Amino acid sequence: MKAITLDSSQDSKLLLTDVQSRALLPGEVRVQIKAAALNHRDEWCRKGLYPNLKDGVVLGSDGAGIVAEIGEGVDYDWLQKEVIINPALNWGANQKVQSEAFEILGMPRNGTLAESVIVPLDRLHEKPAHLSWEEAGALPLAGLTAFRALTFQGDLQAGENLLVTGFGGGVAQFAVQFGLALGARVSTSSSSPEKLERANALGVDFTFNYMDHNWISKAFEETNGFDLIVDGAVGDTLNHLIEVAKPGGKIVFYGATLGNPSKLIARKIFWNQLKIMGTTMGSDQDFINMLSLVCEKRIVPIIDQVFKFDEAEEAFDRMRDGKQTGKIVLVP
Amino acid sequence: MKAITLDSSQDSKLLLTDVQSRALLPGEVRVQIKAAALNHRDEWCRKGLYPNLKDGVVLGSDGAGIVAEIGEGVDYDWLQKEVIINPALNWGANQKVQSEAFEILGMPRNGTLAESVIVPLDRLHEKPAHLSWEEAGALPLAGLTAFRALTFQGDLQAGENLLVTGFGGGVAQFAVQFGLALGARVSTSSSSPEKLERANALGVDFTFNYMDHNWISKAFEETNGFDLIVDGAVGDTLNHLIEVAKPGGKIVFYGATLGNPSKLIARKIFWNQLKIMGTTMGSDQDFINMLSLVCEKRIVPIIDQVFKFDEAEEAFDRMRDGKQTGKIVLVP
């Protein structure tokens, strides 16, 4: 089958090639991919910034498709089902944190940027009926991460003030959409007026351009501070977020694209009783709860652009350059 | 009445002097102090490191005594009652964080280092019967801070691994005692072998000397990491605490005697789903719950040393130099 693999000998570090698919083990299924989507994780694999990288592995964590083959012990009813795939493998029983066996589909295990992917049956969920293939394929990893950040970690309540930084990224767009669906007053920030326009179209309450030196005082005036801030950047902007958090508020971050902060104002954190929390992906229960919300509120992922497999390099470059608003989708 | 006031014209910044006591307002009571105790806050006032300092104010947040006079509207039954004082004024209704009107007894309002103190009736609680005056007077501020850090913020569960850093300080000793009473496996750290001896005598499970360069790996070997860490130092040791936290664990800090950390390892925080939380004092409900635990488990505060009011400078210096194990008490 055709698949996009990591190949460090290529300039692009990608190779669209024929990969020999293996036989199914008991309890596994083969899903024929109708649409897959990119995450920063895929780009980090390409940059060599992920641990234990292996050439020849099929990249891709996000995918939706049709069950094409079932392994021993899997009910025949699953055949031909339209499904989306939970890319979080072996989370374990502890809701607070993933187990040591935790793994994400697409490295070191073959992922979704292929004509088909093999996963354990328990990774499958029915495709939400209101979504196209491209929309369903765009949902899993970023949707799961955003949902856990808001709910299990952030305990977001209706009426609370939510700030989602960096609108345009996958997790950020879902955090905005889910935040609105959960009844929060949602603000989002970006350096791009175009991206903030898109956020306004979704119905957010406030947008802030963080290139504006006054954005912190403006945000405080407009919102009186945020109960919850969801961020994927960290770096020295963490201290700005500490400034705009409401006393008693929470900052949940799911990544650190700007790296480590060079300082941290401790006094403000203890006097204001702030919580700074890290989050990664989500548990199986988080995934189930996320799908419920998506179906109940008929939430539709924003698609930035759809590429064919042979345009993979262009798709990855678009993610690397941060040009996208919404998810970058690839179809076989 | 005799009282210890802040006086910046003195070398010691303290003056034991006669203070004119005012008449009671409706709803207020005058408590004749039997024992008061010091907190770092008193020393910070002396150092000029607290906001809005005013010469002539009576210092002291901790106290226990006998109700000597009642204002209009206060039931006569309160007269002669043996009480301890909750030094947290105007917390407000939000359990998550204190209101803007929040104030701590002992600056700017006259405090407990006096023959008597005036407080609103609702700051009084019955003195736990199993405690001496000195023990009861030592409990309020540090006990409240430790209790909230462990429970409301830290959500400590029986059987969990707790690390309390800096044994010897008031909050740390209560965090150790309350942690044991709540059924946690308690570890504590110090640079002083003598203080760790005292901790062992309380029945802690493990002690670590943080001057030992291997303490982090030892702690991990012995405990498999901590579910909850209660710290008052921060500074660059925060990154050590991040190392010894169990994945999914929490670090709650109630002060930052070592100042701000010069960096923060963000990746470890989000991958391990850690929570870094600030806390200050506690709500009225926290105080009530703390007293319940103290009475139910007959917890007895550790008294470092008892001073007379005219030895106040010596008492303050002992706190400044960090020589104490347990609370420094002053009696009129």
Give the Cα separation of B253 and B230 in Å (integer). Answer: 6
Please report which confidence band the pLDDT of residue B228 belongs to, taking 50, 70 and 90 as the band edges: very high
Give the Cα separation of A125 and B228 in Å (integer). Answer: 35
A259 vs B contacts (CB less than 8 Å): 266
Which of B242, B244, B245, B226 has the alpha carbon at shortest distance from B234?
B242
B277 vs A contacts (CB less than 8 Å): 269, 273-276
- Predicted ipTM? 0.93
Give the Cα separation of B92 and B325 in Å (integer). Answer: 33
Residue of B nearest to A250 (CA): B277
Give the Cα separation of A270 and B262 in Å (integer). Answer: 17
Give the Cα separation of B168 and B179 in Å (integer). Answer: 15
CB–CB contact A274 B274 (8 Å): no
Q: What is the DSSP string of A249-286?
A: EEEEES--TT---S---HHHHHHTT-EEEE--S--HHH
Please report which confidence band the pLDDT of residue A75 belongs to, taking 50, 70 and 90 as the band edges: very high
For β-strands A2-6 and A14-18, DSSP reports them as: antiparallel
Q: Quick one: A120 and A158 in the same domain?
A: no
Q: Quick one: A54 and A168 in the same domain?
A: no
Mean pLDDT of B299-303: 97
**Residue pointed to by tokens 């001073």:** B307
Give the Cα separation of B18 and B3 in Å (integer). Answer: 6
Instruction: Output the pLDDT for position A323.
Output: 87
Residue B289 within a domain: no
Q: What count of Cα atoms within 13 Å lies in the side-chain half-sphere of residue B47?
A: 12
Give the Cα separation of B90 and B100 in Å (integer). Answer: 8
CB–CB contact B277 A275 (8 Å): yes
Which of B222, B243, B248, B241 has the alpha carbon at shortest distance from A102?
B248
Residue A286 within a domain: no
Q: Quick one: A75 and A182 in the same domain?
A: no
Q: Quick one: A104 and A25 in the same domain?
A: yes
Per-residue pLDDT tens over the stretch A236-264: 999 999 999 999 999 999 999 999 999 89
Q: Quick one: A45 and A119 in the same domain?
A: yes
**Residue pointed to by tokens 């697409």:** A106
Enter the tokens of residue B131: 């405690």
DSSP code, position B153: I
Cβ count within 10 A of residue B63: 33
Residue A269 has its nearest CB partner, among B259, B267, B278, at: B278
Instruction: Output the pLDDT for position A54.
Output: 94
Q: What is the DSSP string of A110-155?
A: --SSBSEEEEEGGGEEEPPTTS-HHHHHHSHHHHHHHHHIIIIIT-
Per-residue pLDDT tens over the stretch B177-221: 999 999 999 999 999 999 999 999 999 999 999 999 999 999 999
Q: Quick one: A76 and A188 in the same domain?
A: no
Give the Cα separation of A226 and A243 in Å (integer). Answer: 10
Instruction: Output the pLDDT for position A271.
Output: 95
Contacts A–B by Cβ distance under 8 A: 109
Residue A94 has its nearest CB partner, among B248, B272, B277, at: B248
Mean pLDDT of A85-114: 97
Residues of chain A in Cβ contact (below 8 Å) with chain B:
94, 96-98, 153, 234, 238, 247-248, 253-256, 259-280
CB–CB contact A265 B260 (8 Å): yes
Enter the tokens of residue B32: 């004749």
Per-residue pLDDT tens over the stretch B145-188: 999 999 999 999 999 999 999 998 899 999 999 999 999 999 99
Under 8 Å CB-to-CB from B244, ≥6 apart: which residues?
B163, B216, B219, B220, B225, B226, B229
Instruction: Output the pLDDT for position A152.
Output: 98
DSSP code, position B260: -
Q: Quick one: A165 and A126 in the same domain?
A: no
Residue B322 within a domain: yes
- CB-CB contact of A294 with A128 (8 Å): yes
Instruction: Output the pLDDT for position A51.
Output: 83
Q: Quick one: A159 and A189 in the same domain?
A: yes
- CB-CB contact of A103 with A109 (8 Å): yes
Mean pLDDT of A224-246: 96
Q: Quick one: B203 and B307 in the same domain?
A: no
Helix H or strand E segment including A42: helix A40-47
B98 vs A contacts (CB less than 8 Å): 247, 273
Residue of B nearest to A262 (CA): B263
B265 vs A contacts (CB less than 8 Å): 260
Give the Cα separation of A102 and A264 in Å (integer). Answer: 30
Give the Cα separation of B256 and B280 in Å (integer). Answer: 11
Residue B270 has its nearest CB partner, among A253, A261, A264, at: A253
Q: Can you list the alpha helix ranges (DSSP code H) found in B149-274?
A: 170-181, 193-202, 215-223, 238-244, 266-271
Closest approach of B305 to chain A, Cα-based (Å)? 29
Average pLDDT for chain A: 96
Give the Cα separation of A38 and A195 in Å (integer). Answer: 19
Q: What is the CATH number of the domain that holds B312?
A: 3.90.180.10
Please report which confidence band the pLDDT of residue A52 belongs to, taking 50, 70 and 90 as the band edges: confident
CB–CB contact B270 A278 (8 Å): yes
Give the Cα separation of A150 and A277 in Å (integer). Answer: 11
What are the distances in angstroms from CA A277 to CA A204, A249, A285, B272?
A: 24, 11, 19, 10
Q: Quick one: B150 and B269 in the same domain?
A: yes
Enter the tokens of residue A41: 């994780």
Residue A288 within a domain: no
Cβ count within 10 A of residue A265: 15
B279 vs A contacts (CB less than 8 Å): 270, 273
Residue B296 within a domain: no
Buried b (16+ CB within 10 A) or exposed e, A5-30: bbbeeeeebbbbeebebeeeeeebbb
Residue A296 within a domain: no
Q: Quick one: A103 and A195 in the same domain?
A: no
- CB-CB contact of B325 with B201 (8 Å): no
Per-residue pLDDT tens over the stretch B235-250: 999 999 999 999 999 9
For β-strands B226-231 and B245-253, DSSP reports them as: parallel
Give the Cα separation of B143 and B177 in Å (integer). Answer: 10
Residue A49 within a domain: yes
Phi, psi at residue A313, to the nearest 5°? -60, -45
Give the Cα separation of A307 and A331 in Å (integer). Answer: 6
Give the Cα separation of A326 and A108 in Å (integer). Answer: 26
Residue A275 has its nearest CB partner, among B271, B275, B280, at: B275
Q: CA angle, corner A94, sides to A70 and B185, nearest 5?
A: 155
What are the distances in angstroms from CA A9 to CA A12, A20, A189, B301?
A: 9, 20, 38, 67
Mean pLDDT of B9-13: 95
The structural domain count of chain A equals 2
Task: Note the Cα A227 to chain centre separation in Å.
Answer: 22
Per-residue pLDDT tens over the stretch B265-286: 999 999 999 999 999 999 999 9
Q: What is the CATH number of the domain that holds B151?
A: 3.40.50.720
pLDDT of residue B52 exceeding 90, the answer is: no
CB–CB contact B270 A261 (8 Å): no
Give the Cα separation of A59 and A37 in Å (integer). Answer: 10
Average pLDDT for chain B: 96
Residue A287 within a domain: no
Domain that holds residue A257: 144-278
CB–CB contact B263 A267 (8 Å): no
Closest approach of B245 to chain A, Cα-based (Å)? 12
Q: Quick one: A198 and A110 in the same domain?
A: no
Q: CA angle, corner B228, sides to B223 and B233, nearest 5?
A: 105
